[in-house]
Amino acid sequence: MHETALMQNLIATVLQVAEKHNAARVNRVVLSVGKLANVLPEALSFAFEALTQDGIMKGAELEIKHLPAVARCDSCGHEYQVDEWPLSCPACQSRSFVITGGEEVYLESIDCVEKSVHGEGSEG
């Protein structure tokens, strides 16, 4: 439900990085979202589109990579991918676990076009 706030945070970060790299445009943003992150990819894409109507991110593409949920067995330490509940360790069948992955939302990378030394390609 907080996808718009998350996207605002993401875009602020992208703009900071873009400025540091002297970017004239940002063409692509890659984001990875864990299965347990409680954010809806469709809502993220929608918010991204709504928030990139102008400026150096205008028309930029958003790629969302999905990360699986991962659990670590309390009994034997084995890490395994979570597909359905209830969980049991594929190595020792223990039902006791901690979640070690799947809650993350990461800004992975951006593709940008740098301003030319002559000032062409900059926003004008």
Partner 1 sequence: MTRVDIKRDLDALNKQIAAANRALFKSAGLYVINLMGSPGSGKTTLLENILPRLQDHVRTAVIEGDLATENDALRIRKTGVTALQINTNGGCHLDARMIENQLSRLDLAALDLLIIENVGNLVCPASFDLGEDLRMVLLSVPEGADKPVKYPTAFLNAQAVAITKTDLLPYLNVDLDEMKRYMAEINPKLVVFETALKGGVYEAERLVAYILEQVRQKKGK
Instruction: Point out which residues bind Zn ion (CB under 5 A).
Output: 73, 75-76, 78, 89, 91-92, 94
Binding pattern for the stretch 36-65 against partner 1, x by CB under 8 A and - elsewhere: xxx---------------------------
Question: What's the burial of 110, exposed, middle or buried (CB within 10 Å: 0-12/13-18/19+)?
Answer: buried
Q: Does 21 bind partner 1 (CB under 8 A)?
A: yes
Name the residue among 104, 1, 73, 107 with its Cα closest to residue 82: 73
Q: Does 124 bind partner 1 (CB under 8 A)?
A: no
Name which position in 43, 72, 106, 122 contacts partner 1 (CB under 8 A).
106
Q: H or E stretch including 79?
A: strand 79-82
* Minimum distance, C-beta of residue 64 to partner 1, in the bound complex (Å): 13
- How far apart (Å, rounded) are the C-alpha atoms in residues 74 and 91? 12
- How far apart (Å, rounded) are the C-alpha atoms in residues 83 and 99? 12
| Partner whose binding site includes residue 78, from partner 1, Zn ion, none (CB under 5 to 8 Å by kind) | Zn ion
